[in-house]
Structure 1
């Protein structure tokens, strides 16, 4: 919400505490080089390492109203102080005038005595927000902040506050106004949070560190968790307080992290609509959007790939029992491309398991968690036909990109030779993005090797969704 809604409009406690499970998944395969350097993310070395509050962190300078003086609010003070130090310099590099800090920073306990924030009561408000009418930022120290910090570390909390401060910056800069749609203002704030996180990742923050490997992956995991819930056409709440899908919110964050605040200034209603294009937003009425993973449905996706790309030598599809076996691929992933005999071999049971949601449900899991992996193996067949190498980092990212191209094409129904139609539904892109972050199967080369950065894998997929086949081959040559 713009007034006291911000990033966490839909979050309940379970959404916060389950983030560790998503971000702790070990990426399958062996990291391989990306262009000249094997570890790059948005132009920076992609490495695991220290993430969070520095042991020698500069002290906070911001005053918090309503504080209990405890550790949680002290951390919030520190984060706000750091964010303001960033914008004190960065603001004037993009926007006119000088940066002015928000008028006030407040804290409350959602389980404690009622106080006021943005004209409303705080009892039961497990949230953080920016209040535009009062130019203040506030947070729940009782439930939300400790849960976020426990689940997603220091940078989970810091990202939330950077997002809320992004609203204040957007207001001050004039890129957001009272009539700006929530969908636009939220993604502006996501983007501005990304610009701040880049500053931290570059080692310029006197209070925090952020590794570009596991640290940044954890931040992206949190972004995915804060996606809009799936809704059906005709639901009474359609269009209310819309923040964006995981794909959209991660994209906005990546714009800021990669290109800085100028990219955020370019986010407006037209840009969001252009980026969304024909991608599905709502599920058909009374439908879940899930298609059972079986031999028939997988054959349908294989047929759709042939219709969409018209390969001269389409690969054969085979179903393995007890795992795939391909003599010229080292991959043991749920789906494997075998160049020697031009075959896509799938392990049906493994794909079914891949599409089964976890109990936590914070990361998006469903049928396209599996189908995107199958599509990615057909993407390798397309690359074989072009005569490019299939066992490099470029091939891995090119595969993710082509999977994005295919996914976007399937936003319109694809009629297969048997008369059936294949079409993606709302939530399918989020399932692909979650898989790219946690396992990287759809961004792996012919041997199942992926690149170390979830950011880079998702970025390549997004390039494909918003681009075309030729762009993938030129970008990841």
Structure 2
């Protein structure tokens, strides 16, 4: 039996991330009180300025060994702001009083002298919290400039919010000795989300963060911090696990939406439940690559038919031009769904372009095969909604509902589906991260029947995550 699988790998380029794409944005009034598509965790979803304010308050901290540059300035302001936030909010969740970290340390990883946490800083391209002496340090030579170039000022702030999250862990005595690294890291991601919600709400006297493009850039940066994809052959088993992009963004969203108590609730059991049966490493016989072709598209549509068993499966067409003739929907290239004819029309060259690997390029978020396949599946899920009846397909709720149902379909593919040609289609490690990348770069997975997506990438990913962790009924109830 020849095995065919969805794509595996998502990474991020070292410089600017392109977050505009194929999808257009839905305008109009929100249609749900429970989940407003035009708000992000209760905040209006808007683009705008993000970064250090021109009239920012002076920092309350200083940094050792600084060169006085802009990156160190942003870092020191970030820690000053974080300490202002936690001073006001720590005791509301945890016992005791908040105490600032002892010292801040800057180094240049290109230099040959210097130490941090008893380690040489030569070649140390990192930022970290040192538990031994209660300090936070960062590399101003490579890391901070790269963060700013790729995702703006707030990328530095987010990284330091994560590191300060580790300080909060220690202060609150959240984790016993032997707690897995994965738990500590996702708690810290969550704490970063708590603080950045405060900034996005306009409470910071030093920084601004828009809930549209500003927050999208931070989510893109989080993708870059995911664990590298490993196979059974090279899995090291060191326990130094931080989580996939999907997992890390999920933890960040918990904090942003639900506050610091949600971070304290993250433990090994919660992460295990969240992972379920989702693959985290490639099997020995997997390449993780399934190039987009007519054959592969037909296999995935057949797999969807097997998984969802519609009474009247949608027709698959490779006549992309036919989408323009649909009387009740506009084209959403490279894959369109027409309710009137119950047809999925695929622009194969366009879908192949979307699924092509961009790994190694410096100006885009690295995507892969499942960036394309998830869009194909999303149009299939519109057909599922159409057959169900009674659901509006051309508004903002439909876009989020489609993202949610695509998440449901993605999880169903964690078990192999054998198609009539004897091949199998199955989710592999990295596929969900590729879908998340697409949700940021083009938004089509979270778009309605006309290809229009909700404004905020945060909401698109959140809806997809609800589906990955839920089922069809949950999606319909959440986005009626």
If the length of structure 1 is used for normalisation, what is the TM-score? 0.93
Give the number of the structure with larger relative contact order, counting CA–CA contacts within 8 Å between residues 6 or more apart: 2
Cα distance in 1, alignment partners of residues 354 and 30 from structure 2: 27
Counterpart contact for 2:323–2:337, Cα < 8 Å: no
In the TM superposition, residue 229 of structure 1 has moved relative to its aligned partner by: 1.1
Counterpart mapping for 1:15-94 below 5 A: 17-18=14-15, 20-23=16-19, 25-26=20-21, 28-32=23-27, 33-35=29-31, 39-94=38-93
Counterpart contact for 2:222–2:249, Cα < 8 Å: yes
Cα distance in 2, alignment partners of residues 82 and 16 from structure 1: 29
Cα distance in 2, alignment partners of residues 160 and 16 from structure 1: 17
Judging changes above 3 Å, is the alpha-carbon distance between structure 1 residues 27 and 322 closer, same or farther for their aligned structure 2 residues? closer
Judging changes above 3 Å, is the alpha-carbon distance between structure 1 residues 248 and 236 closer, same or farther for their aligned structure 2 residues? closer
Counterpart contact for 1:106–1:139, Cα < 8 Å: yes
Cα distance in 2, alignment partners of residues 370 and 72 from structure 1: 37
Instruction: Classify the secondary structure of the residue corresponding to 1:86.
Output: helix
Instruction: Classify the secondary structure of the residue corresponding to 1:146.
Output: helix
Judging changes above 3 Å, is the alpha-carbon distance between structure 1 residues 385 and 466 closer, same or farther for their aligned structure 2 residues? same
Cα distance in 2, alignment partners of residues 27 and 325 from structure 1: 16
Aligned match of 1:401: 404
Cα distance in 1, alignment partners of residues 73 and 341 from structure 2: 62
In the TM superposition, residue 288 of structure 1 has moved relative to its aligned partner by: 2.4
Aligned match of 1:335: 335
Cα distance in 2, alignment partners of residues 209 and 323 from structure 1: 46
Aligned match of 1:372: 374
Cα distance in 1, alignment partners of residues 201 and 291 from structure 2: 44
Pairing 1:126–2:114 present: no
In the TM superposition, residue 317 of structure 1 has moved relative to its aligned partner by: 0.6
Aligned match of 2:4: none
Judging changes above 3 Å, is the alpha-carbon distance between structure 1 residues 442 and 236 closer, same or farther for their aligned structure 2 residues? closer
Cα distance in 2, alignment partners of residues 321 and 408 from structure 1: 28
Backbone CA RMSD of aligned residues:
1.7
Instruction: Classify the secondary structure of the residue corresponding to 1:22.
Output: coil
Instruction: Classify the secondary structure of the residue corresponding to 1:228.
Output: coil
Instruction: Classify the secondary structure of the residue corresponding to 2:337.
Output: strand
Aligned match of 1:447: 450
Q: Any idea what the Cα deviations from partners look like across 1:200-223, whole Å, max 9, x if unmatched?
A: 000001100000000000000100
Pairing 1:140–2:139 present: yes
In the TM superposition, residue 240 of structure 1 has moved relative to its aligned partner by: 4.2
If the length of structure 2 is used for normalisation, what is the TM-score? 0.93
Judging changes above 3 Å, is the alpha-carbon distance between structure 1 residues 15 and 343 closer, same or farther for their aligned structure 2 residues? closer
Q: Any idea what the Cα deviations from partners look like across 1:276-313, whole Å, max 9, x if unmatched?
A: 11000001126320112111111111111111111112
Instruction: Classify the secondary structure of the residue corresponding to 1:296.
Output: helix
Cα distance in 2, alignment partners of residues 213 and 344 from structure 1: 30
Aligned match of 2:395: 392
Q: Any idea what the Cα deviations from partners look like across 1:334-379, whole Å, max 9, x if unmatched?
A: 1011101101111111111001122337734111111101100110
Counterpart contact for 2:12–2:365, Cα < 8 Å: no
Q: Any idea what the Cα deviations from partners look like across 1:224-257, whole Å, max 9, x if unmatched?
A: 1111111111214245421111100110111110
